[in-house]
Amino acid sequence: MVLRKSEVTSDEILSIYFGGGTPSVLEVLELNTILETVYKHYKVSDTAEITLEANPDDLDIETIKALSNTKINRLSIGIQSFHESDLTAMNRAHNATEAKKCLEIATTYFDNITIDLMFGMPTMSVAQWRQNLQTAFEFGIKHLSCYALTVEPKTALEHFIKKGSHPPMDDELAAQHFEVLLEETLAQGLTHYETCSFGHPEYFSRHNTSYWLGKTYMGVGPSAHSFDGKSRSWNLSNNTKYIKSLEANIRPFESEVLSVENRFNEYIMTGLRTIWGISLDKIETDFGAPIKEQLLENSKKLRISKMLVLEKNHLKITKTGKFLSDGIASDLFLV
């Protein structure tokens, strides 16, 4: 961070995010050391959102108390499910009792908490999924990140499915879970402001929103990515080589200047995931009038089929299209 402070000039740091990985394995003293370095070398907003990702098994009462006395003001907790069978199937380190106990304590010391929940598991009934959501609401959680389970190649889950020891994915059930998610969060007054994100407006994730709206960011640590608006860079992923380079005052990284097509496609992909949609004014300013006209032409069929709507010069995804947002975005890409 000290090596790179010249990259950030007058802009204030609006958010700081510890994660992914499991940064809660760090001691509070270590987290404080990192934050002290940020505040010493960068201009940080007085209202900055400072998030720590954590798993329930890392958050005992002493740790939560200590964290509440740091500058960290938001916790992102990987609950995944409140059902024991789901947690066992996902090979999580915590159990359902620990998940609930963690939230019981965390909500006493932190107001701004988001939790991750998984849906789409073929072993989870619609009733169980609804119960998961209700449990979260009973704890007063004001922000949820909800993800559909996917089978990645060469993972244990793929192996179990092929072997027949785990049922295959059920797209119809996942779609039912998603409908329940929309229904239950709406009933609680949460806004579905991004494909996987639900929250009261004052609890929207400022950090993640900056990614979706194409703002600049600096990633610190092995394999972390950074973006300056036109180019992306990524640090070396090898821990030993990364540390040795830093000891020699060298940041080990690679970078690429993004093509017009890449920048356009990324904005389409991320913009469509949000309630703000794609600004046609931004498209024209950043990419030119011909590309804006091409986008309008390419989106015509999707608007006719009610997958997209044009509102106040913004292209937005409809409720009908929400579960298909990635496919809709790819139809609009420049290739």
The per-residue pLDDT for range 209-252, each reduced to its tens digit, is 999 988 899 999 999 999 998 899 999 999 999 999 999 999 99
Summarize pLDDT for 144-189 with one digit per residue, the tens: 999 998 888 877 777 877 888 778 878 899 999 999 999 999 999 9
Residue 90 or residue 13, greater confidence: 13
The pair of structure tokens assigned to 14 is 């609006």
Mean pLDDT, rounded, for 69-81: 96
Rounded to whole angstroms, how far apart are CA atoms 289 and 192?
A: 31
- Claim to verify: residue 238 and residue 312 sit in the same structural domain: no
- Claim to verify: residue 33 and residue 54 sit in the same structural domain: yes
Indicate the length of the chain as a whole number: 335
Task: Assign 86 a pLDDT band (cuts: 50, 70, 90).
Answer: confident
Residue 95 or residue 294, greater confidence: 294
Task: Assign 325 a pLDDT band (cuts: 50, 70, 90).
Answer: confident
Q: Is the Cα torsion angle 22, 55, 75, 121 positive or negative in sign? A: positive
Confidence check: pLDDT of 54 > 90: yes
Pairing of strands 308-311, 197-199: unpaired
Lowest mean pLDDT among 19-28, 31-40, 54-63, 280-289: 19-28
Q: Which helix (H) or strand (E) element contains residue 256?
A: strand 253-257
- Claim to verify: residue 97 and residue 181 sit in the same structural domain: yes
Q: Give the residue from 194, 229, 257 where a domain finishes.
A: 257
pLDDT at position 38 is 96
155 part of a folded domain: yes
pLDDT at position 294 is 96
pTM: 0.91
Query: What's the DSSP call for residue 20?
Result: S
pLDDT at position 87 is 82
- The CATH number of the domain holding residue 194 is 3.30.750.200
Task: With H, G, I as helix, E, B as strand and everything else as coil, classify residue 65.
Answer: helix
- Claim to verify: residue 253 and residue 268 sit in the same structural domain: no
- Claim to verify: residue 58 and residue 190 sit in the same structural domain: yes
Domain holding 245, by residue range, is 219-257
3 part of a folded domain: no
Task: Write the DSSP assignment of 171-235 as a string of letters.
Answer: HHHHHHHHHHHHHHHHHTT-EEEETTEEE-GGGS-HHHHHHHTT--B---STT-EEE-SSEEEEE
- Claim to verify: residue 28 and residue 130 sit in the same structural domain: yes
- Claim to verify: residue 291 and residue 243 sit in the same structural domain: no
Confidence check: pLDDT of 10 > 80: no
305 part of a folded domain: yes
pLDDT averaged over the chain? 93
31 part of a folded domain: yes
- Claim to verify: residue 22 and residue 80 sit in the same structural domain: yes
- Claim to verify: residue 204 and residue 225 sit in the same structural domain: no
- Claim to verify: residue 151 and residue 96 sit in the same structural domain: yes
309 part of a folded domain: yes
Q: Give the residue from 193, 210, 227 where a domain finishes.
A: 210
Tell me which amino acid residue 2 is.
V
Distances 232 to 18, 179, 259 between C-alpha atoms, Å = 20, 36, 11
Domains in the chain, number = 3
The pair of structure tokens assigned to 107 is 């909500």
- Claim to verify: residue 101 and residue 226 sit in the same structural domain: no
Mean pLDDT, rounded, for 17-45: 94
Sheet with 197-199, edge to edge strand ranges:
13-18, 44-54, 74-80, 113-119, 143-148, 197-199, 191-194
2 part of a folded domain: no
Lowest mean pLDDT among 57-71, 175-189, 251-265, 313-327: 313-327
Query: What's the DSSP call for residue 24?
Result: G
Q: Which of 195, 227, 189 is nearest to 211 (CA)?
A: 227
1 part of a folded domain: no
42 part of a folded domain: yes
Task: Assign 9 a pLDDT band (cuts: 50, 70, 90).
Answer: confident
Query: What's the DSSP call for residue 262?
Result: H
- Claim to verify: residue 239 and residue 322 sit in the same structural domain: no
Mean pLDDT, rounded, for 304-324: 91
